């Protein structure tokens, strides 16, 4: 999601709670969110390291 603000642009990923960034331009905001996503996913991976994790599919 990308939104123009008074300060520039705010950008966030609804599917990654707390993953957001900003920039003075749209291009800067998009570059910044790439770094934020990478850091977010690296952190999730580190937190899951050594833990038993499994994927579950839930159907209707």
pLDDT of 1-47, one tens digit each?
Answer: 999 999 999 999 999 999 999 999 999 999 999 999 999 999 999 99
Q: Which residues contact 17 (CB under 8 A, 6 or more apart)?
A: none
Kind and range of the H or E element at 4? Answer: strand 2-4
pLDDT-derived band at 54 (thresholds 50, 70, 90) equals confident
Phi, psi of 22 (to 5 degrees): -160, 170
Q: What is the pLDDT of residue 52?
A: 87
**Between residues 47 and 53, which one has the greater pLDDT?**
47
Rounded to an integer, what distance in angstroms lies between the CA atom of residue 58 and that of residue 60?
7
Listed residue (12, 22, 16, 15) closest to 42, CA to CA: 16
pTM: 0.78
Residue 59, pLDDT above cutoff 80: yes
């Amino acid at each position: 999601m990308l939104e123009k603000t008074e300060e520039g642009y705010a950008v966030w990923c609804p599917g990654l709670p707390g993953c957001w960034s900003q920039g003075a331009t749209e291009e800067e905001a998009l570059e910044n969110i790439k770094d934020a996503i990478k850091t977010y996913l690296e952190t999730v991976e580190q937190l899951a390291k050594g833990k038993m994790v499994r994927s579950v599919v839930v159907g209707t």
